[in-house]
Amino acid sequence: SDGDSGGEEYLFKIVIIGDSAVGKSNLLSRYARNEFNPHSKATIGVEFQTQSMGIDGKEVKAQIWDTAGQERFRAVTSAYYRGAVGALIVYDISRRTTFDSVGRWLDELKSKFLLLFSRYPFLNRTGRGNRPVNGIELVGLGTGFCLLKTFCAVHSDTTVARMLVGNKCDLETIRDVSVEEGKALAEEHDLFFMETSALDSTNVKKAFELVIREIYNNVS
């Protein structure tokens, strides 16, 4: 859409983080293309995929970023987090070590996000409605076709909509982390929580759409 209707468009950047092989790339390909790859390689991956959904009659686009294997080297670059307003922190319910890493990923998200915020490139631009409202910055893209709304998360990371995702719930027989433990960790860190399976599609759409809806609710 080019905005002829005068309607607003929304574009939200969401990042997926978590240990290697927890299913990040497959969650994204399942959501964006309804595809699953049993032999996916960490080195193969796209930077991001864009998926739209309608909320309140508006088109809301999520630009969802995948690490493309960077996490193997414990060095997801700061650029990855730039401008993100949502995050899925993923572990594998059949591998406890990936659950134990969640705290580290939350710390990384917090520190890198806050670090980058001060350098967020759009913030000093003036555009349609470009003023902080409740910590929210509206940024006009200049061409008038799109209004990007993003957060001004100066004070805390709570303005990044975060969801803890226990993936591979189809692997019930070799489960290593209980649903209760997942829920408890999510509560402790004030995160949404869902168990998913990129393999059989359980809750994948639900998880992404809940995060997108939460971001939308926060900015509108």
Binding segment for ligand GDP (CB under 6 A), chosen from 48-56, 125-133, 196-204, 207-215, is: 196-204
User: What does 23 bind: ligand GDP, Mg ion, none (CB cut-off 5 to 8 Å by kind)?
Assistant: ligand GDP
- Tokens standing for 126? 């003036």
Q: Does the protein bind Mg ion through residue 167 (CB under 5 A)?
A: no
Q: If we measure between CA atoms, which residue out of 99, 85, 110, 92 comes closest to residue 184?
A: 99
Among 10, 25, 82, 150, binds Mg ion (CB under 5 A): 25
Q: How far apart are CA 91 and CA 195, in angstroms?
A: 10
Q: Does the protein bind Mg ion through residue 29 (CB under 5 A)?
A: no
- 147-176: contacts with ligand GDP (CB under 6 A): 167-168, 170-171
User: What does 34 bind: Mg ion, ligand GDP, none (CB cut-off 5 to 8 Å by kind)?
Assistant: none
Q: If we measure between CA atoms, which residue out of 181, 176, 200 comes closest to residue 94?
A: 176
- 93-152: contacts with ligand GDP (CB under 6 A): none
Q: How far apart are CA 36 and CA 29, in angstroms?
A: 6
Q: Does the protein bind ligand GDP through residue 42 (CB under 6 A)?
A: yes
Q: How far apart are CA 116 and CA 67, in angstroms?
A: 17
Q: Does the protein bind ligand GDP through residue 207 (CB under 6 A)?
A: no
Where on the phi/psi map is residue 56: left (φ > 0), alpha (ψ -120 to 50), or beta? left
Residues that bind ligand GDP (CB under 6 A): 20-26, 37-38, 40, 42, 167-168, 170-171, 197-199
